[in-house]
Amino acid sequence: MTIVERQARRRDKILNGKILNVILMISIPLVFYNLCNYLYGIFDMMIVQKSGIGEAGDIVVLDQIKNMLSTIGSSLAAGGGIITARLYGEGNIPKSKKSANTLFTCALIISLITLIFIPLGKPLLILFNTDQTTIDNAMGYYYVQILVLVITTMNSAFIAIEKAKGNTKLLFGLNIMVVILKIAITILFIYGPFTNVTMTWVATATLIAQLSMFIVGMIICFLPSNVLGVKIREFNLNKVIVRGMLKLSFPIFIGRFLFSFGKVYVNSVALEAYGKDCVGALGISNTTVGLLSNIINSFEDGTSTIISQNYGNQNGIRIQKTFYTNLIVLVVISLLGTGLLILLQNPLAKFFAPNNPVQQEMIINIVKYERLDILFMGLQGAGYAVFYGFGRTKTTMAISMSQLFALRIPALLIMIYGLNVNYEACGIAMLFSNSVSGALSVILAVCFIARLPKSKKYQDLFPEMSA
């Protein structure tokens, strides 16, 4: 088959194929894609710790700040991807292609603006109450990670366009290439014929690896055979499309920013209340649970693309079935993941903090709470897939705001300063906020899906009922 024929066949599967098979076809490559990124983050922590060039806790803290900043580009890509996928599912290829070019143009502008965070580095870290030793030892790592962020913003736009077509196998293959390069270059830097190697070199390996995806991604984007290909002469800031993207992206940005800011804020409070060992333990706990949250997020992203395309194709019954199928899949994954984390919590603590028994105990005592909210993270992922698919991003923003400001921060501050709870307060606050927001997300999603056939706004999704 030609590239164009494969693209058409993939679209037909998303709109008409067996729902479970389609969810797995789209989401599993995303799982491997996200897990590869997750695993080389762990690889950085491990190799820095083992080689003695820095502390794993410094990487966790700085990466969480970088992740918070990355929400700008990733949110734009998510909003643009929703619109592009909906138009693609509708069969309006010219307008879908125009949307892809607008997304690409906006991503280019944001990637250039991101450079401002290089001179703002130290003030930003001080603002977030980052430990002074981290600032002294790892500013070079931070600066290079901002350059990585510039590249990944463009990569996010490319990924969103390919995901809108359901072409997640390509993304998985490219990420394997990135991971292999990343690991190979890092090992070369650390164990090769180099002297005075620092954490900055580790970040440089990441930059080189991401540049490889950027180069290949740009080639694919500009291919004439790419049904949603971009062209320099078609770069645009079409007011209607940009307004639609911003309308969807801004709530996503607020939600994701607050999610990342919540982690940075908890680190700041934990540093003041319990010391740097607790911050490291909390970051490692988040990284450990991240194994499951990455899988959940992959199914959330994949299913939202399926729902977007079927929304554009006016297939309401299929959307309902997709939601319930994805919900069952995520519940199963969450329960299996919780059991796995119970079995592995002690070995993981020893792996991440091999020479620090105090931090090992902290990791175990925080993870024992965080592992309990994995099921609710799965429920939230199923709910968010629906809301993203329909472009109801204000709903996800409201949930994220309540998760941070109404649940996590008040619970943490009450336990620390009101009840004098020890460092386990960090894990308890995460459990409380994630559980309540997860339950709320799935309840709202079930109600929304159940009411779809009766809604005047979405009556076109059920033509068989109108007839």
CA distances (Å), 285 to each of 71, 165, 288, 348, in order?
Answer: 21, 35, 5, 9
Rounded Cα gap, residues 233 and 251, in angstroms: 30
Percent of the chain exceeding pLDDT 90 equals: 37
pLDDT of 384:
95
φ/ψ of 268, rounded to 5, equals -65, -45
Q: What's the confidence (pLDDT) of residue 102?
A: 93
Cα(390)–Cα(304) distance, integer angstroms: 8
Residue whose tokens read 């949250």: 293
Average pLDDT of the segment spanning 430-459: 93
Cβ atoms of 378 and 289 within 8 Å: the answer is no
Joined together, the tokens standing for residue 260 give 């990342």
- For residue 74, the one-letter residue type is S
Is the model more confident about 4 or about 389? 389
What confidence tens digit (pLDDT) does each residue in 275-305 have?
Answer: 878 887 887 787 788 888 889 988 998 899 8
Tell me the pLDDT band of 350, cut-offs 50, 70 and 90. Answer: confident
Give the CA radius of gyration of the chain.
22
- Assess whether pLDDT exceeds 60 at residue 466: no
Q: Is the pLDDT of residue 183 over 70?
A: yes
Residue 4 has pLDDT above 70, yes or no: no
Picking from 390, 371, 391, 379, the residue whose alpha carbon sits closest to that of residue 442 is: 379
User: 7 pLDDT exceeds 90?
Assistant: no
Burial 351-360 (b: 16+ CB within 10 A, else e): bbbeebeebb
The confidence score (pLDDT) of residue 56 equals: 67
Please determine, for residue 116, whether its predicted confidence score (pLDDT) is greater than 70: yes
Distance from C-alpha of 353 to C-alpha of 3, rounded to nearest angstrom: 48
Q: Exposed/middle/buried for 326, CB within 10 Å: 0-12, 13-18, 19+?
A: buried
Asked if 228 and 84 touch (Cβ cutoff 8 Å), the reply is: yes
Answer yes or no: are the C-beta atoms of 53 and 198 closer than 8 Å. Answer: yes
Q: What is the per-residue pLDDT for 181?
A: 92
Q: Between these two residues, 450 and 44, which has the higher pLDDT value?
A: 450
Average pLDDT of the segment spanning 310-327: 94
Residue 432: pLDDT over 80: yes
Statement: residue 264 has pLDDT above 80:
no
Task: Identify the pLDDT of residue 216.
Answer: 94
Contact predicate 426/262, CB 8 Å = no
Q: Looking at this protein, which amino acid is placed at residue 218?
A: M
Which three-class secondary structure state does DSSP give residue 221? helix
Residue 170 has pLDDT above 80, yes or no: yes
Lowest mean pLDDT among 40-49, 228-237, 353-362: 40-49
Confidence of residue 311 (pLDDT cuts 50, 70, 90): very high
Per residue in 57-73, pLDDT tens? 677 777 778 878 888 88
Mean per-residue pLDDT for 163-188? 87
Q: Number of folded domains in the chain?
A: 1
* Pairwise CA distance, residues 344 & 326, whole Å: 26
Task: Give the pLDDT confidence score for residue 465 in this predicted structure.
Answer: 61
Split at pLDDT 50, 70, 90, the class of 445 is very high
Q: How far is CA 349 from CA 335, 357, 427, in A?
A: 21, 9, 15
Domain range spanning residue 97? Answer: 3-466
